[in-house]
Structure 1
Amino acid sequence: MHRLNVKKLGFAFGLTGTIIYLGCMIVMATAGREGSIIFFNSLLHGLDTTNVIRMDVPLLEVLMGIVQTFILWWLIGASIGAFYNAQIKIKK
């Protein structure tokens, strides 16, 4: 069995999470409030997002969200890699 590079897997997860975050921003910027509500309601199996959609998000909050998303998903990816590697029996 091959071992995973924990840092690289964490980076891949972090970058993927960041791309998804940016995709969300693009949907909100292009679809407007009502389009975003329809999109996210269908994506979340009918969960009503009307009360949680904010269109006036300050730039600093957006930048912090991108950084926090990357860090969170990096930690998730690194944890998965570490747990995976811990289960591999090394042949001697």
Structure 2
Amino acid sequence: MGFATGLTGALLYLGCMIVMLTAGKEGSIKFFNNLLHGLDTSNIIRMDVPLLEAFFGIIQTFILGWLLGACIAAIYNVQIKIKNRNVI
């Protein structure tokens, strides 16, 4: 679960990078404004992201996603064990 969630987050991050590379600044602003239900992203879109920063960003996104997925799986497993103990 953790690996799947982390990899999904990393793929979303990569998709964001591809949108920004192909659509340019104005296209990225339009895309993310539509995606975020009209939230104006024009003041926070930064197109000059260094490659090292993007690399660390995708790694950090994977780690946070992995931790989130592992936490969800652990809570789920504990809940199942408690439920099974009460049934028997």
Give the total of aligned pairs.
84
Instruction: Provide TM-score, normalisation by structure 1.
Output: 0.87
Aligned pairs for 1:1-92 within 5 A? 9-88=1-80, 89-90=83-84
AA in 1 matched with 2:71 = S
Percent identical pairs in the alignment equals: 71
Any unmatched runs of 5+ in structure 1? 1-8
More helix, by proportion: 2
Any unmatched runs of 5+ in structure 2? none
Instruction: Provide TM-score, normalisation by structure 2.
Output: 0.91
Which ranges of 4 or more aligned residues in structure 1 deviate by more than 6 Å? Answer: none
Q: CA RMSD in A?
A: 1.0
